[in-house]
Structure 1
Amino acid sequence: MGNKVLLYGASGHCKVIIDSVHLMGDTVEAILDDTPQRASIFDIPVIQAKEYSIAKEDLLAISIGNNRVRKIISEKINAKYYTIIHPKAIISKHASIGEGTVVMAGAIINPDAVIGRHSIVNTGAVIDHDCHIGDYAHISPNASLAGDVIVGEGTQVGIGASVIQGIRIGKWAIIGAGAVIVKDVEDYAVVVGNPGKVIKYTEK
């Protein structure tokens, strides 16, 4: 409580993170951005990132929705990364949340779930028992993962998607909005529909 936090990325996602930080009792000191488009967000100054020297002891959160960009920034900047958990999220004391991860309002994370670093568990998402979510992943609003689901690094599970128990989803995959996943998904696959079907690969 009472921490001063830097955010990296002056985006719409940043606005939601600001609310969570304030509700945690902390303060956003400044927002850094590579190409600032505005002078401030909610009266918090937006600063050209290259003009600000981030110290190792600074608390920093990456407020950018793009999974690959979050990975690039986290690997480039040596800072003390701040984990953001909205006070209206429900998280089991037996769950694990990695550094730099953001958990939004109404999200539910159940026992023995493990969430990696710099991931996003967005508004109203449900992650059930024994799930493992990789680094830089994004579980979108109202997506639901049943028990013992594995989601690889950098994968996006789209808004309102449903994943049945025991499914393995590879790295850097994209699960479309509202998709229903009933079988395992390969790395880099783009899956849509009910039941989910691969329509292409982002890399192969």
Structure 2
Amino acid sequence: MTLKIGILGFVIAVGLSLVVGALRSHKLPKIISFILGFYVEFFRCTPLIVQLFFVYYGMPTIGVKIDPVFASIVTMGLNSGAYMSENVRGSILSVDKGQYEAAKLLGFNSFQVNRYIVLPQAIRVAIPAFMNGFSTMIKETSMASVLPVIELTKLGNQIYAKTYHPFEIYISLGVLYFVMTYSMTFVARKLERKATKWQ
């Protein structure tokens, strides 16, 4: 369950961060700029646990009932997407402006410039931040224990309530989280080597 929430939430976060980060790196109409800015700042400036409570317990008050696992996945995705979108925006802005001008001279339109020239370079720069975001999300799935979701931390708490052996249980939880997150460093290194092959 921990991996399910973490991986699906990460997929949502990556998709959101690419779209929001790419849009916010360009000049936009004020209303769109305000909406995207509000999304980013709202999720960055409020605690994740409050967001989980709002989505799962608050939404039913307006007639929207959400499954606790789905609520966890969506909230984690929205939260991490806000943080990661700033990494994407910074990565896009780091691309040399001369490349935009050269692409225009070669007849590329705005979509082609972003698709074939800017985004590939920006994603290469953003890969370490993406991998860090995934590791953070795996650890933050423990927050889902505040909802009726039996993930790793809640399962540990339930075992503790029956056995009263906190040391063994929480050491085991720590080791499991460490293995899941540390394994991402190897994936990150492989992706970085592949991304920089043609640098």
Same fold (TM over 0.5): no
Which TM class, normalised by the smaller chain length?
A: under 0.3
When you count strand as a share of all residues, which structure comes out higher?
1
Structure with greater contact order relative to length (CA < 8 Å, sep ≥ 6):
2
Q: What TM-score, normalized to structure 2?
A: 0.23
Query: Taking structure 1 as the reference length, what is the TM-score of the superposition?
Result: 0.22
